[in-house]
Structure 1
């Protein structure tokens, strides 16, 4: 299988760098093909702007979605965007690896999403009618692929628990896992999380490697998070609200996950 690992940490000698190297070695040893997009090493441009559309005319107002749509449709995107889209087409699986900075991903990784997820590639696709509202949330151009987050944080796991002061980690990652990954069609695996990164010694790193190794070995067998599919009957269209008879006592993020 083909795996794309998008890596967002500025220091290759960091814990994240060691985990990245371990993941690549483990996957390659299992016979997988791996490509790494090291965003800092690539000097990735994080800002979506008019330069991303090679035929942009300065006398026209820049439209992030409109110009993205036109550039993608006409094959006139900047080369770095088209190259990352080709990697996503090639990949059977995607791993986004990053430290949790201010309760989200680093800006350089968000910029990768902003620019690579062009109109017509990751959104704005499919039929819009009174029965369907586009090919998204379980459908889309990236359907049939798997994705997983690898996330490190200095906080304790208790800080991110159901009653922890930082809020539940599942809630913090929901916009990434459900929005950025499930939206264009990925099956999203439970994240690989590393807490208390400043408290790492050889013994703990060895144990961490065993845990990560098992997750990578089982990448294709692990059941994905059971996010509801938009066009499978759970949502009223075009309002896109959950049917009142489904999970009537649940609200917020949790309602969008099917429970046994």
Structure 2
């Protein structure tokens, strides 16, 4: 049995987002997995920092700790809501983020979850080593992550020559930055397009497709991003000249 955290963001409890979360939860439980959730709108999640989110350096060093898996991170003087979400994240073997694509990214409330939960020592500054452990290593290494995204526009808009840009490239700051940066194994995105005109049959297909992805959540091959410390970046900043010569941009990050 595994533990899966579902993080989702939509203000309408009857939305397609909510229906897909219920479908994912049912399938995961049918497989015998434990499911924990963060329904950000229902929780009234505070998406912005306040003074309690910034422990000073002395507090961070004094209050850092190591969990049962050997992960070292700091909760410091962070508020209870952040610490509760960090506990969920650290307990999870996989995290599924379900959200509608709003202005080419995740809803602000979900971005705020990332910014507040991804504290110093957990998602960056791992083991007090600055930027030594990132992109394939870090406090979230060993966990799997999946984005499940809905778009109002049709799939053609998000294709290789689509007017909105290719979906994988639009989501790169999330898949590569938010998820792979602290060490997670990132699975190919599950996307449902054309939701502004979706009918009942389309909703059922969307839910069935996500349920199918839940059945392979722990067996699907992750996106083959290049790790920082695997040898492709000898100075930890720029690809070696003999690695993917002539390839630039986002494609250069794929093995």
Q: Structure 1 length normalisation: TM-score?
A: 0.88
How far did 1:75 drift? 3.1
**Structure 2 contact 121–128 (Cα < 8 Å) conserved:** no
CA deviations on 1:91-119 (whole Å, 9 max, x unpaired) are: 00001111100001111001001100001
- CA distance in structure 2 between the partners assigned to 1:160 and 1:69 by the alignment: 42
How far did 1:74 drift? 6.4
> What is the aligned-residue RMSD (CA, Å)?
1.9
Runs of 4+ in structure 1 deviating by more than 6 angstroms, as ranges, are none
What does 1:124-135 correspond to in 2, within 5 Å?
Answer: 124-126=125-127, 133-135=131-133
SS of aligned partner of 1:147:
strand
How far did 1:246 drift? 1.0
2:24 counterpart residue number: 23
How far did 1:10 drift? 0.8
What does 1:39-188 correspond to in 2, within 5 Å?
Answer: 39-53=40-54, 69=60, 73=74, 75-126=76-127, 133-188=131-186
2:68 counterpart residue number: none
- CA distance in structure 2 between the partners assigned to 1:128 and 1:32 by the alignment: 34
SS of aligned partner of 2:231:
helix
1:253 counterpart residue number: 250
- CA distance in structure 2 between the partners assigned to 1:167 and 1:35 by the alignment: 33
2:209 counterpart residue number: 211
How far did 1:128 drift? 5.3
**Structure 1 contact 2–33 (Cα < 8 Å) conserved:** yes
Which structure 1 segments of 5+ residues have no match?
A: 57-65
Residues 68/164 of structure 1: CA separation in 2 closer, same or farther (3 Å cut): farther
2:70 counterpart residue number: none
How far did 1:67 drift? 8.9
**Structure 1 contact 236–242 (Cα < 8 Å) conserved:** yes
